[in-house]
Structure 1
Amino acid sequence: MGLISFLSTVPTLLPNAPGNSSRCPIRYGTINCKIEDDGGNETNGVRRRDVLKCFGAAISLELVASSSPIPSPFLEVANAADLIQRRQRSDFQSSIKSTLYTALKANPELFSPVLTLALNDAVTYDKATKSGGPNGSIRFSAEISRPENKGLSAALSLVEEAKKEIDSYSKGGPISYSDIIQLAAQSAVKATFLASAIRKCGGNEEKGNLLYSAYGSSGQWGLFDRQFGRSDAQEPDPEGRVPDWTNASVQEMKDKFTAIGFGPRQLAVMSAFLGPDQLATEAKLATDPDVTKWVEKYQRSRETVSQTDYEVDLITTLTKISCLGQTINYEAYSYPVPKLDFSKLKL
């Protein structure tokens, strides 16, 4: 959390001026500041000097809290607060995305299976037992061979090959299957959005990239990118938690999404993940009165230049699904920085 802005602090002082003391609220706590005149007597006025005193006190407490190893109510708790660790993770994630983008670009026929792979790994989540979720369990032969995962072996193989390359250059240990599967889905979605923008620009890649960036959808991935540090399961998730999307009824699909905390809107926007044929899935979903309005909404959105409604809702839903039941280790993939030997320096 950044330091409190001066302008945001001033209004909080004014309503308290008539009392015996004024309180200067700051996030997660308050600072008591007596307002006195030059003679030491309390006054009903609030002068700039008094405001600055309270503001200075707020800053001091923030600085003290930020330097303390003990978690403070003035700070948002984050395991990766160290800037070096954040930069390491960010650089590593950029390299992962580049590797995945290259792999997917060479195998465009695997876009849909990669999306379904990520969804099926995630929707094993069970709210009652807090088990399952996007934990990489789909990598086990006992799980990938289930009926609902038919046709996903090639997508898993692509992920496994990409993982070998990524692990070869990782400085912070091997990437988890749970992370790389969800990042592969993100890469496939991004590539699809970008390809659509390029088509709308007559095939001009430069203009397509500019179009995609101009409407701001790419910036919606910020929260997804921070959810980086999932742990892998050590055994397959229980059977019966994932529908066979191709053969499932709309009601079965709705029931599954309800079970993991979502509704018809999220079901409609995730249609590209529900089996190999998005158009067939959407046609099926459009027969249900609870879902059809959302199917139509996203169809209209995709026909526009920006697709903003569709893209933003899809990114938001995928972000939530990709973290179901997971505890994120915000220090994952960071590594010690070599220390300088100051004894060798000549002063």
Structure 2
Amino acid sequence: MAAHRSPSMAFRLIPAASKTFTTFRSSSSSNCSISSLLRGDGLSRGRAFGWGLGGSRGAASAAACSPSDPAQLRSARGDIRELLKTTFCHPILVRLGWHDAGTYNKSIEEWPRRGGANGSVRFDKELKHAANAGLVNALKLLQPVKDKYSGVTYADLFQLASATAVEEAGGPKIPMKYGRVDVSGPEQCPEEGRLPAAGTPSPAAHLRDIFYRMGLNDKDIVALSGAHTLGRASPERSGWGKPETKYTKDGPGRPGGQSWTPQWLKFDNSYFKEIKERRDADLLVLPTDASLFEDPSFK
């Protein structure tokens, strides 16, 4: 299938039958750690986040869901940008894309058992995983977009929404590649436990267990942790954070929760500065965050 490009959205549609993983490069010249990862050259980075298709799929799986229509992808991106302007939902859309992709296991060849960005997080079975608490709200926000653009798969929609949210929050433009297909039912959801947890006895070891499984390394772990520059933790969802702080009591959007940074809708490097200095009791530091400055290999 030929590549498709738009002046406002540099993306390519991947052939549905592709058996190779692909990576993307960011067009941003930013030197921040997160942006450096988004520009990553490593094949493992593309694999872990479902940025490309890969592995073998049977004919039945391929027939069950076609890859996304490129014209509808471009239109859906415009609708997502408008959604972000009115709901300030950047953080939860980034989290949705990450949690759909972050179940990837590089040691499993079979699709969809290996996980990754395949739209499985839309099913109640996976939404009920502890790490996905609250993500039903992200699905509710995106479902009207999916209904309007039926030619876009959930798997592509979640990654499109996440990449658009990063860009609209001031992060790099990500020339994504699209063509992911959806799993067909909840029986294809991954088992619980593939995503990071904040309160483990050995935070650094836990992060390595999770991210090494995806083919990532210590540098990648540090960079990806920087995504906490966006958003807040809510005790009623994750069990972490304060009910509200001076930075979150008035919103924007839904008030409350505890953020990692004062400007929690701005995509920048402030997360690393705040975690290192720990001067403000109103800013959140999880055990896994603290490990980035305590473990010698993460420093």
In 2: Cα distance, 1:239 partner to 1:286 partner? 28
Out of 105, 121, 129, which is 1:126 matched to? 105
1:284 deviates by 4.4
CA distance 1:107–1:191, change in 2 (3 Å): same
- Output one character per residue of 1:211-237: Cα deviation in whole Å (capped at 9) or x when no partner: xxxxxx53xx33x2xx21101012322
| TM-score normalised over the length of structure 1 | 0.45
CA distance 1:89–1:192, change in 2 (3 Å): same
CA distance 1:191–1:152, change in 2 (3 Å): same
* 1:183-332 to 2 correspondences below 5 Å: 183-193=160-170, 217-218=172-173, 221-222=174-175, 224=176, 227-234=177-184, 235=186, 236-244=189-197, 246-248=198-200, 249-273=203-227, 276=232, 277-278=259-260, 279=271, 280=285, 282-292=289-299
In 2: Cα distance, 1:116 partner to 1:162 partner? 18
1:145 deviates by 1.3
List gaps (5 residues or longer) in structure 1.
1-87, 168-173, 195-216, 293-347
2:72 matched to 1:92?
A: yes
Aligned to 2:55: none
Q: Which amino acid aligns with 1:290?
A: S
SS, match of residue 143 in structure 1: helix
2:98 matched to 1:145?
A: no
In 2: Cα distance, 1:175 partner to 1:89 partner? 6
In 2: Cα distance, 1:247 partner to 1:111 partner? 25
- Output one character per residue of 1:62-99: Cα deviation in whole Å (capped at 9) or x when no partner: xxxxxxxxxxxxxxxxxxxxxxxxxx955433212111
CA distance 1:103–1:272, change in 2 (3 Å): farther
- Output one character per residue of 1:130-165: Cα deviation in whole Å (capped at 9) or x when no partner: 311100100000101110111222112112222123
Checking the alignment, whether the CA contact within 8 Å between 2:72 and 2:152 is kept in structure 1 is no
Checking the alignment, whether the CA contact within 8 Å between 1:112 and 1:272 is kept in structure 2 is no
In 2: Cα distance, 1:191 partner to 1:285 partner? 27
Aligned to 1:102: 82
In 1: Cα distance, 2:292 partner to 2:194 partner? 20
In 1: Cα distance, 2:123 partner to 2:227 partner? 21
Q: Which amino acid aligns with 1:105?
A: K
| TM-score normalised over the length of structure 2 | 0.52
List gaps (5 residues or longer) in structure 2.
1-67, 233-258, 261-270, 272-284
Q: Which amino acid aligns with 1:288?
A: D
In 2: Cα distance, 1:191 partner to 1:147 partner? 28
CA distance 1:141–1:287, change in 2 (3 Å): same
CA distance 1:153–1:272, change in 2 (3 Å): farther
In 2: Cα distance, 1:153 partner to 1:102 partner? 20
In 2: Cα distance, 1:124 partner to 1:137 partner? 10
Out of 111, 116, 139, which is 1:156 matched to? 139
CA distance 1:93–1:289, change in 2 (3 Å): same
- Output one character per residue of 1:161-209: Cα deviation in whole Å (capped at 9) or x when no partner: 2212333xxxxxx211100000110011001116xxxxxxxxxxxxxxx
CA distance 1:185–1:286, change in 2 (3 Å): same
Q: Which has the higher helix share?
A: 1
Aligned to 1:113: 92
In 2: Cα distance, 1:105 partner to 1:250 partner? 36
Spell out structure 1 runs of 4+ moving beyond 6 A.
none
SS, match of residue 90 in structure 2: helix
In 2: Cα distance, 1:89 partner to 1:165 partner? 13
In 1: Cα distance, 2:136 partner to 2:164 partner? 18
In 2: Cα distance, 1:237 partner to 1:247 partner? 22
CA distance 1:247–1:118, change in 2 (3 Å): farther
1:287 deviates by 2.3
Q: Which amino acid aligns with 1:237?
A: P
1:268 deviates by 1.7
Identity of aligned residues (%): 28
CA distance 1:191–1:283, change in 2 (3 Å): farther
Task: Give the superposed CA RMSD.
Answer: 2.3
In 1: Cα distance, 2:148 partner to 2:296 partner? 46
The higher radius of gyration belongs to 1
Aligned to 2:63: none
In 2: Cα distance, 1:188 partner to 1:258 partner? 26
1:125 deviates by 1.3
CA distance 1:272–1:138, change in 2 (3 Å): farther
